[in-house]
Amino acid sequence: MIFITLKEIRETCGDTFYKRGKAYYEAGRVHNLECNEIGNCYTAEVKGSKSYKVRIEFDEEAFIVDSDCACPAFKDYGSCKHEAATLIAISRLGQKDSVKDKPQHLEQTTSFDLDLMLDSILKKQTAQGKPAAGQAYKPAEQLISSFSESNTGPAHDSSSLFGDAEQLQFEFILKTGISHRTAAFSLEMRVGVKRLYVVSKINRFLEHVEQHLPYYFTSHFTFDPKKQQINPADLAFLNALILIKNTEKVYRTSAYGYYDYAGTTDGRAIAVPPLGWEKLKPLLSEVNVVLGSFGQPGTRAELINEAPPFSFSIGKGGPKDYVLSASGIEKCNVFPEYSSMIVEGKIYSQDPAALHRIEQLQQTLSASKGLAISSQQIEPFIQRVVPALRELGAVKVDKTVQERIIQPELQCKIYLDYTEGKLLTTLEFHYGDIVIDPLSSHQDYAKNGEIILVRNVQKEDEIIGMLDRSSMNREGRQWVSASELGMYEALHEFVPSLEEYADIYLTAAAQNLIMKRQASPKVRADLNEGLDWLHISFEMEGLDEKETTRVMQAIVEKKKYIRLRSGAFLSLQTEGFHEFRTMADRLNLGKKDLKAPSIQLPSVHALQLPERRTSTKAMKWGKSLRLFLDQLKEPENMDFELPGQMKDILRDYQVKGFQWMKTLSRFRFGGILADDMGLGKTIQSIAYICSELEENPEKTKILIICPASLTYNWANEFASFAPEVKILVAAGQKEERSELLDGIDNEEAQVIITSYPLLRRDIDLYSGKSFHTLILDEAQAVKNAASQTAQAVKSIKAARKFALTGTPIENSIDELESIIGTVSPLLFSGRQSFRQLPADRISSIVAPFILRRLKKDVLEELPDRIETVQRTELLLEQKQLYLAYLSKLREDTEQDLQGEGFQKSRMKILAGITRLRQLCCHPSLFVENYTGGSGKLDQLLELVEGCRASGKRMLVFSQFSSMLQLIRESLTASGIIPFYLDGSTPAGERVELCRRFNEGEGEVFLISLKAGGTGLNLTGADTVILYDLWWNPAVEEQAVGRAHRMGQRHVVQVIRMITEGTIEEKILELQQRKKNLIEEIIESGENKASRLSEEDIRELLKM
């Protein structure tokens, strides 16, 4: 018994045939339904306007393998309403019979469904309890069978497995039809061994081929890939059809519906889309493909790569007309979507444009044997149509017509005139003595049809198109420019581009719009005798000062031209003008700055001029300027004598730093000494100060400003390396400092040392005082230009200013602008202009004023540094607190971001994140009455014990002073008495602690990251432990630099302690993104990094 659902019938026959078939069945028109003995073949008689016999054959899985009906619809579409009615009758038979033997999975699908099968097994086990012994293994047997047979993939030839396999024969029938009002291809096929059988369900058959499954045709023939073989050419063709089938399936289940013209979903024909045709076309010559339909002798399809057999002739039709005749084109079937046409059984490939012309010719010539052409039409017909016809076939022109054809060479002429404030352009085409005005509708050169002029239409159209696309407008029989810009573009840009196409003629009035001789500008630049000022002048031959100034202003306004008082246009696009424009951009000059042909700027701007090696002859460089630039760009070539006491102390790279400072000082410039931590910025500065004092010992006063913790450190350094220099530390009470500063002009003190906090309080005491040089140590203190510290420092009067910092940029490039603006305020005109400059431009401007060397580049003998990350876990009670606080912080942060926004919520969010970091360190930092422990503290104590056992001496940094106190208490309880330094440690005591530690006293030094991360020399340590991480790696690098610096004799171990699965891991990732910021801006000029952004916050909290 066959079980088939109504859904399957609808899919097989299509909606239209299914609805009509259902109506026939319900009207009782299906009679004599019979089934053969095997139970797989049904016959019936269906009565409509006539009585039709229907036969339907199924395979063992209830798939239709063959069907037939004598009606015309079945012959055309491969299905019909009679077949649908019979199938519905067969389905009703299945419902009337016993349902208990019916396979349950056939209700929904005839394909293997693992989930459905397993679900069925579970249901049976639940309903029946333990299955019978034989039944228990039946599902597994089904799985084995199904998996064995569903080896889907491209069809393959199994002849290698069966040497005596039968050879299959295929015939592919290429049919044509109409789909969506467009000619389309479809394919049918027959297959067999000794005789060929019609494939009535082509998609079903291709599925079996693809899955290597047998396919039943009749009792006389079954396709069986295990017993038969397919030759390689047929196999390739079948694989191409399988690809088309699978693509069709995708489109049918989508919204595109492109394949609607295929008829039924599984009839005899498979629709061949244009892309599928491209796959099949190369295979046509290797397989048996015929053109035609069943029951008729087919013509073997042949792909031809030659010109089609068309011919055309043009002859005299009557006294005043002509006629076009064509041969062969009427036998052509055109398929534009397939880039093909069929002529007398042969398939020709043609491009779509040619096929479109053929269709036009067919439509035009279908009504008559020839196409009549008037004497007025013959000329454009020969010019435009005949060349295209020659691409389709041979064209024969009658002798009487040929005698009238002339084809002289085209000569184009363009005339320009200037009148009434407009530039007028006229175009003429000359063919020998024949002159043609292309914008005139009347042409009378044909002499009543006696001549046929073949014009160069392509070149004519090209030139007219160029004129139409220009800034000129068509007016009557001319092109007109009325605006200044339009006239300039026509004369200086457009007309010159036409010179290779046409002869150009200008009237005297038009010639006056062009300068008789394009003047070449000259730019001169030099320094004055005192090297204080840069002078730049601009000259142009033939122009007075007033007009020269107008030209300069036009250049900086980025104008393409300027119209002179004479009315002539001066192009500003030449090389000389371009050079002045580049220079003006670099110097940030505007129209208001150019009030005369010469300008004067501070000499520092000379470094912003274009490179001399790239400048043209239009730029003249004065001798003083050349020498000035050479000395600044190569300061190591300057010969400055080292102070006697420093000659045996400074290393080579430090000597270069001294030369650099002296060179800038000579020209009264300042700069940033940005050497890596530990490379001796202090000793280089002391060498410079000593040199300046030797040159002018009486009048030279040096002011050094540094962090409070380093004031006495500077005094000690002078005592060690330059004890002869008279030092004054401006410290003590306010009255005491006031008395010291009031008398510095009369005092013998040469160097005054103060701190940033004291400077802010004493700024009134420095008013009216001038210094030879200002040294800013740890100059990141002025990185915020709006801060009181930065404002106070900028108010100090000094001829030269130098900043010392290993981190000129920590978070933002604005920090660099603030520091460079302090030491060299004339370099940039303001923060706004600085921000508008690209990073590479900033890099080139500041390069002479920043000197930066890294340890790895200059100190080959410096011991290695080994960095490791030590991970620890939260204790249970610690973890519970952390997760609870994290959840609350995420919720609050999301509300704050949506409510108040990022900027207003920033500090609150950062405070919350700090709490998370404190929980990682030790919850008691902010959780009152916490009695539990800390996984990180426990690990630190173990780490310290291990280092002590190995003879290591340690610096332990934390940003939380309260955490350092906990560590000190824990170490003391273990019998270890550490050194301790935080923000409350007096400056003098700091120096003493460092001295004692470096001399070997103590094993552990606890240091606040912010208070002790700069300026200290602690080379007595060989291990640096960063208990908690800071946002910016540059701050940590400063801390590590306390031990890994000049004087260190051991390998330095750097250990970062990270709590696993917490925000500390995210901070480590954030550090990696900021790590190379300094090198990017200062050394390679790449983009800047920013402070913590909203995206950073979300990533840290994983929101």
Q: For the whole prediction, is pTM greater than 0.75? A: no
Name which of 248-252, 292-296, 451-455, 699-703 the model is least confident about: 292-296
| Residue 830 Ramachandran class (φ > 0 left, ψ -120 to 50 alpha, else beta) | left
Q: Compare 75 and 1014 and report the one with higher pLDDT.
A: 75
Q: Which residues are bridge partners to 393 per DSSP?
A: 310
Q: Is the pLDDT of residue 430 over 90?
A: yes
Q: Distance between CA 1018 and CA 356 in Å, rounded?
A: 88
Q: Distance between CA 670 and CA 798 in Å, rounded?
A: 10
**CATH class of the 639-858 domain in this structure:** alpha beta
864 band by pLDDT with thresholds 50, 70 and 90: confident
At residue 518, the pLDDT reads: 63
Q: Compare 469 and 136 and report the one with higher pLDDT.
A: 469
Name which of 367-381, 690-704, 893-907, 1025-1039 the model is least confident about: 367-381
Q: Distance between CA 187 and CA 244 in Å, rounded?
A: 11
At residue 119, the pLDDT reads: 42
Q: Distance between CA 69 and CA 188 in Å, rounded?
A: 18
Q: Which ranges of 212-351 does DSSP label H, i.e. alpha helix?
A: 232-252, 274-280
- What average pLDDT score do residues 510-515 get? 82
534 band by pLDDT with thresholds 50, 70 and 90: confident
Query: Which has the closest alpha carbon to 1090: 999, 771, 1080?
Result: 1080
First to last CA, the chain: 62
At residue 1087, the pLDDT reads: 34
60 band by pLDDT with thresholds 50, 70 and 90: low
Name which of 489-498, 630-639, 665-674, 1004-1013 the model is least confident about: 630-639
Q: Is the pLDDT of residue 1033 over 80?
A: no
Q: Is the pLDDT of residue 520 over 80?
A: no
Q: Which tokens hold the place of 35? A: 């089934």
Within 8 A by CB and 6+ apart from 565, the residues are 547
Q: Distance between CA 345 and CA 290 in Å, rounded?
A: 9
Q: Is the pLDDT of residue 155 over 60?
A: no
At residue 868, the pLDDT reads: 80
For 467, 956, 975, 976, the CA distances from 968, given in Å and listed in that order, are: 87, 10, 10, 9
The percent of the chain in helix, strand and coil, each rounded to the nearest 5, is 45, 20, 35
Residue 292: is it exposed, middle or buried by C-beta count within 10 angstroms (0-12/13-18/19+)? middle
At residue 966, the pLDDT reads: 96
Q: Which residues are bridge partners to 429 per DSSP?
A: 412, 436
Name which of 193-207, 732-746, 768-782, 798-812 the model is least confident about: 732-746
At residue 292, the pLDDT reads: 74
Tell how many helices (H) and how many strands (E) occur in the chain: 40, 49
Query: Which has the closest alpha carbon to 582: 525, 515, 519, 517?
Result: 525
Residue position matching structure tokens 């479109």 = 356
Measure the CA dihedral 608/612/618/620, to 10°: 90
Secondary structure (DSSP) of 650-671: --HHHHHHHHHHHHHHHTT--E
Q: Distance between CA 849 and CA 1082 in Å, rounded?
A: 10
At residue 1075, the pLDDT reads: 59
Averaging pLDDT over each range in 623-637, 844-858, 1075-1089, which range is the top one?
844-858
Q: Is the pLDDT of residue 963 over 60?
A: yes
CB half-sphere exposure, 675, CA atoms < 13 A: 27
Averaged confidence pLDDT in the chain: 81
Q: Is the pLDDT of residue 257 over 50?
A: no
CB 522 within 8 A of CB 580: no
Name which of 248-252, 583-587, 843-847, 911-915 the model is least confident about: 248-252
Within 8 A by CB and 6+ apart from 980, the residues are 964, 968, 1005, 1006
The reply to whether 865-1101 shares the fold of 639-858 is yes
Cβ atoms < 10 Å from Cβ of 1084:
11
Please name the amino acid found at residue 514. Answer: I
At residue 162, the pLDDT reads: 43
DSSP character at residue 1003: S
At residue 1039, the pLDDT reads: 83
At residue 287, the pLDDT reads: 93
Q: Compare 568 and 347 and report the one with higher pLDDT.
A: 347
40 band by pLDDT with thresholds 50, 70 and 90: confident
DSSP character at residue 929: T
Considering the four listed CATH numbers 3.40.50.300, 3.40.50.720, 1.10.287.3510, 1.20.120.420, the one that applies to the domain covering 865-1101 is 3.40.50.300
Q: Which tokens hold the place of 9? A: 């019938």
Q: Compare 247 and 292 and report the one with higher pLDDT.
A: 247
Q: Which tokens hold the place of 401? A: 């017509």
- DSSP, collapsed to helix, strand or coil, labels residue 1066 as helix
Q: Distance between CA 800 and CA 704 in Å, rounded?
A: 12
Q: Is the pLDDT of residue 68 over 70?
A: yes
Write the pLDDT tens digit of every residue in 1065-1086: 888 887 766 655 445 545 433 3
Q: Is the pLDDT of residue 293 over 60?
A: no
Q: Is the pLDDT of residue 849 over 80?
A: yes
β pairing state of 1004-1008 and 979-981: parallel
| Beta sheet of 979-981, edge-to-edge order | 865-872, 1052-1059, 1023-1026, 954-958, 1004-1008, 979-981
Name which of 110-119, 143-152, 528-537, 551-560 the model is least confident about: 110-119
Q: Distance between CA 1082 and CA 728 in Å, rounded?
A: 34
Averaging pLDDT over each range in 161-170, 423-432, 495-504, 694-703, which range is the top one?
423-432
Q: Which ranges of 557-603 does DSSP label H, i.e. alpha helix?
A: 575-586
Q: Compare 150 and 111 and report the one with higher pLDDT.
A: 150
- What average pLDDT score do residues 731-749 get? 82
Secondary structure (DSSP) of 678-719: TS-HHHHHHHHHHHHHHHSTTT--EEEEE-GGGHHHHHHHHH
- What average pLDDT score do residues 570-598 get? 81
CA 287, 293, 295, 301 torsion-angle sign: negative
At residue 1092, the pLDDT reads: 64
Q: Distance between CA 831 and CA 818 in Å, rounded?
A: 8
Cβ atoms < 10 Å from Cβ of 678:
22
Q: Which tokens hold the place of 887? A: 């959840």
| Beta sheet of 751-755, edge-to-edge order | 727-729, 751-755, 702-706, 770-777, 797-804, 671-673, 850-851
Q: Is the pLDDT of residue 557 over 80?
A: yes
Q: Is the pLDDT of residue 395 over 80?
A: yes
Measure the CA dihedral 941/943/946/948, to 10°: -70
For 74, 124, 131, 309, 709, the CA distances from 385, given in Å and listed in that order, are: 46, 79, 84, 18, 94
Name which of 224-238, 663-677, 828-842 the model is least confident about: 828-842
Q: Compare 807 and 1074 and report the one with higher pLDDT.
A: 807
Write the pLDDT tens digit of every residue in 974-1011: 999 999 998 888 888 888 999 999 999 999 999 998 77
Q: Is the pLDDT of residue 920 over 90?
A: yes
Query: Which has the closest alpha carbon to 1081: 803, 837, 809?
Result: 809
| Residue 1075 Ramachandran class (φ > 0 left, ψ -120 to 50 alpha, else beta) | alpha
Instruction: Produce one character per residue of 235-250: b if its CB has 16 or more CB atoms within 10 Å, e if not.
Output: bbbbbbbbbbbeebee
Instruction: Give the residue extent of every domain in the chain.
Output: 6-110, 166-300, 304-398, 406-511, 522-632, 639-858, 865-1101
111 band by pLDDT with thresholds 50, 70 and 90: very low
Residue position matching structure tokens 């009002």 = 181
CB 126 within 8 A of CB 118: no
Q: Distance between CA 671 and CA 648 in Å, rounded?
A: 26
